Amino acid sequence: MKQSSRAKRRERHHKRFKAGSKLNLVALMDIFTILVFFLIVNQSEVRVLQNIESINLPVSIAEELPVENVVITVLDDTVLVQERAVWQKSVSGNELASEDLSQESGEFIAALTAELNYQASKRVELTEMELEKGRAVTIIGDSSIPYTILKQIMAACADTGFRNISLAVEQKVQSSVNIGSGG
C-alpha cells in the first residue's frame, strides 16, 4: 500500500526526533575547564588569620586583607612567632602578662630578636618591595596590651629588618545611617 504524503512526512518527523538530541561535549568541557581555572585562581583570595579565642582583637575600619607573612602572637602567658613559643610567663605568681613582659623585657626582646633573625635567615632572597619597605610581619595581640610593650615588639621587628609591620584587627562594620543636619 502506498503512503500518503502526510504519512511520509510524519514518518520522517518521527525518525528525526526518535534518535534524540545529542549533547555537544566539546562546549561542555570548555565551560568546565574555564570554571576550574576560575576556581583555582580565586581560591586563594580568602585570607584568614589564625583565630585564637583568648585574644580580643582591637576593632578597626581597615579593609585590607591579611597577607601571609611572619606572625607574632602575644598571649597572656606566651609570645609566639610562627606558632613557636619564644617567651613563657614565669610560673611564680599570677601577675598580669603586661607586668611580666615589662619586667622581663630584656629576656623577652632578646628571644624575640633571635627568633626573628632565624625567620629572616630561612628566606635570604628579598623581593624588590621587601628591599624598599622591609620584610613583612603581622602582630596579633589583645586590645589590652600596653603600648609600651607593643612599641618594644615593633622596635625589635624593625631592628631585625621586619619594617613592614601590620597589626591584626577585627573589621568594624560601618553603619549605613547618615546623620544629616537637622532643620
Residues above pLDDT 70, as percent of the chain: 66
Beta bridge partners of 138: 71, 166
Q: Does the structure show a pLDDT above 70 at 94?
A: no
What cell does 125 get?
632572597
The ranges assigned to domains in the chain are 59-171
How high is the pLDDT of residue 62?
A: 61
* Residue pLDDT, tens place only, 19-59: 666 777 888 889 999 999 888 887 765 455 555 666 666 66
> What is the pLDDT of the chain when averaged over all its residues?
76
Higher pLDDT, 141 or 94: 141
Q: Does the structure show a pLDDT above 70 at 177?
A: no
Q: Does the structure show a pLDDT above 80 at 67?
A: no
Q: Rounded to whole angstroms, how far apart are CA atoms 94 and 158?
A: 31
Map grid coordinates 583565630 to a residue: 51
Stretch 140-157: mean pLDDT, rounded? Answer: 85
Please report, for residues 12, 56, 141, the alpha-carbon distance to residue 144 in angstroms, rounded to integers and kept in the order given. 83, 8, 8
Closest to 157 measured CA to CA, from 124, 133, 177: 133
Q: Rounded to whole angstroms, how far apart are CA atoms 49 and 65?
A: 10
How high is the pLDDT of residue 34?
A: 93
* Count of beta carbons in the 10 Å neighbourhood of residue 11: 11
Higher pLDDT, 31 or 12: 31
| pTM across the whole model | 0.57
Q: Which of 39-43, 90-94, 169-173 reaches the highest mean pLDDT?
A: 39-43
Buried b (16+ CB within 10 A) or exposed e, 83-116: eeebbebeeeeeeebbebbeeebeebbebbbebb
Q: Rounded to whole angstroms, how far apart are CA atoms 73 and 90?
A: 18
How high is the pLDDT of residue 96?
A: 42
Q: Where are the alpha helices (DSSP H) in the chain?
A: 5-18, 25-43, 97-103, 105-122, 128-133, 147-159
Contact call for residues 135 and 161 (beta carbons, < 8 A) = yes
